[in-house]
Amino acid sequence: MEKNAKIYVAGHRGMVGSAIYRKLQKEGFENLIAKTSSELDLRDQQSVKDFFAEEKPDYVFLAAAKVGGIVANNTYRADFLYENLMIQNNVIHNAYLTGVKKLMFLGSSCIYPKLAPQPLREDYLLTGTLEHTNEPYAIAKIAGIKMCDAYRDQYGCNFVSVMPTNLYGYNDNYHPQNSHVLPALIRKIHEAKANNEKQVTVWGSGSPMREFLFADDLADACYFLMQRYNEPNLINIGTGHDLTIKDLALLIKDVLSYDGELVFDSSKPDGTPRKLMDVSKLHDLGWKHKIELREGIELAYQDFISRY
């Protein structure tokens, strides 16, 4: 990407988009376009068409999406499918119409089959049944991957897809019902400590295994791949390491210096048993994560304290 290139970061106020925006600024890119959802509703076809026709960005990072944890995904199934399809359809199609040089579409590890072999390789896509609770979101993201590939095949567009593992970091969502597991545990344990509560209830058995990547590391990987990756299909972004939800909860408990007890509620859903990314393709290109989990949780907690 040329330093004077016009770059549109869709979803710049979210955790992922804001991390990408900060990374680009740090690397010296100044011609950045960002619109809030109130300024530009990416679900609105005409608004997106007008925006691309007027701005004509050279590069696009498509990090805008309707996202949430297991409860939100399972509750707002129609919303997750409809809104994500609309956002990516509008952005990808208009990127083609206005001659965008390169677009990066960000998906999610939930695109892989529920019982796929571990670790998850890129070629496991569409080889089995999806996990029910986040199936609508996953189907939307799979459609986005296939759309990028289809526009590459039919029109020669350089549209690439990256699949991040579970993310956390600055600007995360700490909503009691709609957040992901790591920020949800930070909030729960923080509030229990503040209120002198003797125990914290954690959803599920604690046995599922998850991999976590700090969002600023993801932004670094996206920037790296925007320079070097120009292939069809997708590429995983992760650490290549996972741990149980129980061990995650214990680590957060330790970082927050909470001395109460953790109780696991097995009546609540566990979701997919394991979701570890195979990141050999990414490592072979020369990128590895820098921020380990404990340090990342400390940084995220400082951000949580400053914002809440």
Render pLDDT for 15-71 as a digit per residue (tens, 0 to 9): 999 999 999 999 999 999 999 999 999 999 999 999 999 999 999 999 999 887 777
Q: What percent of the chain has pLDDT over 70?
A: 100
223 among known catalytic residues: no
Asked whether residue 255 is marked as a ligand-binding residue, the answer is: no
Asked whether residue 180 is marked as a ligand-binding residue, the answer is: yes
Asked whether residue 188 is marked as a ligand-binding residue, the answer is: yes
Residue owning tokens 């791949």: 225
Please write the tens of the pLDDT for every residue from 196-218: 999 999 999 999 999 999 999 99
What pTM does this model have?
A: 0.94
**pLDDT of 171 higher than 90:** yes
Say how far residue 178 (Cα) sits from the centre of its chain: 15
Asked whether residue 266 is marked as a ligand-binding residue, the answer is: no
Asked whether residue 164 is marked as a ligand-binding residue, the answer is: yes
Cα four-point dihedral sign 260, 266, 267, 268: positive
Q: pLDDT grade, residue 225 (50/70/90)?
A: very high
**pLDDT of 177 higher than 80:** no
Give CA–CA dist 242/210, Å, rounded.
5
Asked whether residue 23 is marked as a ligand-binding residue, the answer is: no
Q: pLDDT grade, residue 133 (50/70/90)?
A: confident
The catalytically annotated residue of 21, 137, 223, 229 is 137
Q: Position 9: which residue type?
A: V
Give CA–CA dist 228/175, Å, rounded.
36
Query: Which element (helix H / strand E) includes 212?
Result: strand 212-214
Strand partners of residue 162? 106, 235
**pLDDT of 111 higher than 80:** yes
**What structural domains does the chain harbor?**
7-171+211-240+276-291 (3.40.50.720)
Say how far residue 135 (Cα) sits from the centre of its chain: 16
Look up residue 120 and give its DSSP letter: B
Asked whether residue 121 is marked as a ligand-binding residue, the answer is: no
**pLDDT of 271 higher than 80:** no
Q: Which of 141-155, 260-274, 280-294 has the lowest mean pLDDT?
A: 260-274
Please check whether residue 9 is in contact with residue 65, taking contact to mean a CB–CB distance below 8 angstroms: no
| Sheet hosting strand 234-237, strand order edge to edge | 32-33, 7-10, 59-62, 102-106, 159-164, 234-237
Please write the tens of the pLDDT for every residue from 235-251: 999 999 999 999 999 99
